[in-house]
Structure 1
Amino acid sequence: MSTPAIDLLRDGFDRVRETATAAVQGLDDAALTHRVGPEANSIAWLVWHLARVQDDHVADVAGTEQVWTAAGWAGRFAVPFDEGAIGYGQSSDEVAAVRGIAADDLIGYLVDVHTATGRYLETLEDADLDRVVDEDWDPPVTLATRLVSVISDDLQHAGQAAFVRGLL
């Protein structure tokens, strides 16, 4: 369905994909895993994390399996974490463990997540955006709030990845 509200969400997710792809494209493992400080996040971790968050959160509200497992990305990336890990609260050592992933694979996973997100957005109507998806907060979180939150978080991480790339 296409409405101004759904189109706005689609535009936000498009910006995530575009910004993160530009930050990663053409980089080798040394650049992808470079950390500007001992506790800093690498481009590889930032883009892996933002894609994992989007995949996890959108699959949850859509009631679908995550692309991470459904399309075999968990096995291809072979990160040393539980299959359900999305990067939240990870230590500096865990950030350092996201390595050996080709730029094309980071982009491939991101694009697959973006495609799944787009398919979900196509099923929505404006009235769906008011649906409460998480009652553990006060006020409870609606679908609109959750999707905007994912866009916001992902764009911040994509910007961080672009900043690190600029420093390189």
Structure 2
Amino acid sequence: MNASTELLVDAFDRIREEVEATVTGLTPEEIGARVGPRANPIGWLVWHLTRVQDDHVAELTGRAQVWTKDRWAERFALPFPPEATGFGHSSEDVAALGTPDADLLVGYHQAVHERTVSYLNRVKVGDLAEVVDDRWNPPVTLGVRLVSVVAEDLQHVGQAAYVRGLLRADDS
């Protein structure tokens, strides 16, 4: 592993740690709570950030998503097509996630994290400059795509942690 991929692994490790710290110990009601009529609950935020990571890493590796390959889609039993990641979800779609169990959310995230780290362990520093998506101007490189996933995940895990803080304001 090189210094660049070590930094990426560290970033994804921090995301995993924050997902676990945010979700562990919550009740299903807290996981599904919406602090405003159209606010995203913790469960949806963690599911979405994990789906995005799973989707993007699977595309980069050319392998099936953990979501379908390891039957997480069946365990969650959501009313969405298996390829859904949460992008473009309406408030009603967000509500359809319901109140998933903390262990289910953390387990899926852990499985995706393991796939991500396994992939990063094979990435060479020169690979990060490889164009992986030429639909954009400028074209997106592997490094940019991975940093985009980190940014998306950090944003959403931070939102989820904030909601936890609102729900458990009396905890010290």
Report the TM-score range of the alignment, normalised by the length of the smaller protein: over 0.9
Q: Give distance in 2, aligned partners of 1:100 and 1:153.
A: 22
State the match for 1:55 in structure 2.
54
> What is the number of residues matched between the two proteins?
167
Q: Which residue of 1 aligns with 2:101?
A: 102
State how far apart, in whole Å, the 2-side matches of 1:94 and 1:28 are.
21
Q: What's the TM-score, normalizing by structure 2?
A: 0.96
Q: For the residues of structure 1 that align with 2:114 and 2:10, how far apart are their CA atoms?
A: 13
Residues 94-118 of structure 1: CA distance to partner in whole angstroms, max 9, x if unpaired? 1011124110010000000000001
Write out aligned runs for 1:6-45 (5 A). Answer: 6-45=5-44
Aligned to 1:164: 163
RMSD: 0.6
The answer for unaligned runs of 5 or more in structure 2 is 168-172
Match of 2:116 in 1: 117
TM-score by length of 1: 0.98
Per-residue CA distance 1:70-121 (angstroms, 9 max, x = gap) = 1110000011101000000100011011124110010000000000001100
Provide the C-alpha distance between the structure 2 equivalents of 1:124 and 1:9, rounded to a whole number of angstroms: 11
Q: Which amino acid letter does the alignment assign opposite residue 6 of structure 1?
A: T
Residue 138 (structure 1) aligns with:
137
Pairing 1:71–2:70 present: yes
- 1:12 offset after TM fit, Å? 0.7
CA distance in 2, matches of 1:141, 1:15: 24
SS at match of 2:132: strand
* CA distance in structure 2 between the aligned counterparts of 1:155 and 1:64, rounded to whole angstroms: 24
Deviation at 1:26, TM superposition (A): 1.1
Which residue is equivalent to 1:80?
A: 79
Give SS of 1:133's match: strand
Q: Does structure 1 conserve the Cα–Cα contact (< 8 Å) formed by 2:43 and 2:99?
A: no
Structure 1 spans left out of the alignment, 5+ residues = none
- Matched to 2:53, the amino acid is Q
Moved beyond 2 Å, runs of 4+: none
Give the AA of the match of 1:146.
Answer: R
Write the letter of the residue equivalent to 2:129. D
Between the aligned partners of 1:126 and 1:92, the Cα distance in structure 2 is 41
Give the CA deviation at 1:20: 1.3
Q: CA-to-partner distance for each residue in 1:33-67, whole Å, 9 max, x for gaps? A: 00010110000000000000000001101111100
* Alpha-carbon offset, residue 153 of structure 1: 0.4
Q: Percent identity?
A: 55
